[in-house]
Amino acid sequence: MASPGQDAAGKQFAAPPYGQAALYFFNPTNAGPVIKVVVNGQEIGLLGTGTWMRAEFAPGERTVRCWGADSSSAISVFLMPGEIRFFEIQMVPGQRACSVMEASPDDGRSGVLMGGRAFQGQ
């Protein structure tokens, strides 16, 4: 887990740096395996249950992918400068594949606020 200060800072939902977009990734489940999050081939980090991460990217098309157990799932999105977007990533027990879906801003903020910030190796 990230430090309490990093967790609190991310939960402010600050605007991304000029010319960038911010993506939040969260896992709302309370049981399940650790899931790797990758954007355009770059590993962002690992999401455990009840955790979240934030990363900033230049505008343009991005592929958000999860890797869990022996499977992966992905969606493509187009990012605009100044955007903050949220992605729910989970793999519930009994599922064979992880799932990635974009969440509404309200659902995304709620998912982040209920979780703890995961450590990111960036």
**CATH number, domain containing residue 76:** 2.60.40.10
Tell whether 21 is covered by a domain.
yes
d(CA 79, CA 72): 22
Q: Report yes or no on 100 lying in a domain.
A: yes
- Give this prediction's pTM: 0.94
Report residue 120's pLDDT band, with 50, 70 and 90 as the boundaries.
Answer: confident
pLDDT at 37: 95
In a domain, 11, yes or no: yes
As for how many domains the chain has, the answer is 1
> How many helices and strands in the chain, by DSSP H and E?
2, 9
Structural domain of residue 25, as residue ranges?
A: 4-116
- pLDDT for 121 equals 67
Tokens of 29: 């489940």
Q: Per-residue pLDDT for 122 more than 60?
A: no
58 has a pLDDT exceeding 90? yes
Q: Dihedral of CA 30/2/46/111: which sign?
A: positive
**Are 25 and 118 spatial neighbours (Cβ–Cβ below 8 Å)?**
no
In a domain, residue 122? The reply is: no
Q: Does residue 45 register a pLDDT over 70?
A: yes
Tell whether 79 is covered by a domain.
yes
